[in-house]
Amino acid sequence: MGSISQAKVGLVTGGASGMGLDVVENLVSKGWNIAIADFDVTLGESVASRLGSQVLFVKTNVVNYDEQVTAFAATYKKWGRINFVFANAGIGGKGDFYAQEEEVEGTGGPPKPNTLVMDVCATGVIYSSYLALHFFRKNKEGGGYLVMTASAAGLYPSGQIPLYGMAKHGVVGLARSMAQHLKSANEPISVNCVCPGVVPTRLMPQAWLDAMPSDMITPTSTVVKAIDGFLADQSITGQAAECSGQEVIYRDPPPPGNDVAAFMLGGTWATKMDIKSLMDHTKVRNAYYDKMEEDLVQSGTYGH
190 with 293, same domain: the answer is no
DSSP of 144-173: EEEEEE--GGGTS--TT-HHHHHHHHHHHH
172 with 274, same domain: the answer is no
> Residue 298: is its pLDDT beyond 70?
yes
Structural domain contains residue 232: yes
The predicted model gives 19-29 an average pLDDT of: 97
244 with 287, same domain: the answer is no
Please give the tally of structural domains in the chain.
2
* Residue 217 CB-density burial (10 A; 0-12 exposed, 13-18 middle, 19+ buried): middle
146 with 288, same domain: the answer is no
pLDDT of residue 5: 67
Structural domain contains residue 1: no
* Residue 9 CB-density burial (10 A; 0-12 exposed, 13-18 middle, 19+ buried): buried
pLDDT of residue 142: 85
Structural domain contains residue 158: yes
pLDDT classification of 301: cutoffs 50, 70, 90: confident
pLDDT of residue 3: 52
124 with 17, same domain: the answer is yes
CA distance 287 to 266: 30
240 with 270, same domain: the answer is no
pLDDT classification of 204: cutoffs 50, 70, 90: confident
> Residue 70: is its pLDDT beyond 70?
yes
224 with 105, same domain: the answer is yes
174 with 293, same domain: the answer is no
Structural domain contains residue 230: yes
CATH number reported for the structural domain that contains residue 200 in this entry: 3.40.50.720
150 with 223, same domain: the answer is yes
Structural domain contains residue 92: yes
Bridge partner residues of 87 (DSSP): 148
Structural domain contains residue 4: no
**Average pLDDT of every residue of the chain:** 94
Structural domain contains residue 244: yes
Structural domain contains residue 2: no
Q: Which residues are catalytic?
A: 164, 168
pLDDT of residue 278: 84
pLDDT of residue 269: 83
Between 272 and 228, the higher pLDDT residue: 228
The domain boundary residue, chosen from 217, 237, 254: 254
pLDDT of residue 161: 93
> Residue 211: is its pLDDT beyond 80?
yes
149 with 233, same domain: the answer is yes
Worst-scoring range by mean pLDDT, 37-51, 100-114, 115-129, 200-214? 200-214
211 with 246, same domain: the answer is yes
Domain that holds residue 281: 258-304
> Residue 85: is its pLDDT beyond 80?
yes
198 with 110, same domain: the answer is yes
> Residue 1: is its pLDDT beyond 70?
no
What's the pTM value of the predicted model, to 2 decimals?
A: 0.94
> Residue 4: is its pLDDT beyond 70?
no
What are the b/e assignments for 75-112, b being 16+ CB within 10 Å? bbebbbbbbbbbbbbbbebeeeeeeeeeeeeeeeeeee
